[in-house]
Amino acid sequence: MKMAISFICGAAICCMVIFGIKTVLPAFAETTDSGTESENTTPSIIEQISGFDKIYRDALTEPFIKAESKIYDADIAEYYHGLMVKTGLTNPAQ
């Protein structure tokens, strides 16, 4: 019985917290366009994502490119380079 009452009280408190937060947060974003942008506006999400993509791609390919320069056997180096070309790791700009 105590467990059921505790569960019901906990669920009621959680619901009150959720509805309480909802009343504090703004319901709608501003949709009017002021026409002027200030100098301190943050870059759009598209610009940020492209920056993350470049950093991720460089971090992924750099170890493989450096490892290629450490291979001294010609046959293994040729195979490794062909493998990197097939997987697209030779050109991190793509």
- Got the DSSP string for 47-67? HHHHHHHHHHHHHHHHHHHHH
Question: pTM for the full model?
Answer: 0.42
Residues 27-68: pLDDT tens digits?
555 556 555 555 555 666 666 676 777 888 888 888 888 888
Contact 92, 57 (CB under 8 A): yes
Domain ranges of the chain: 44-94
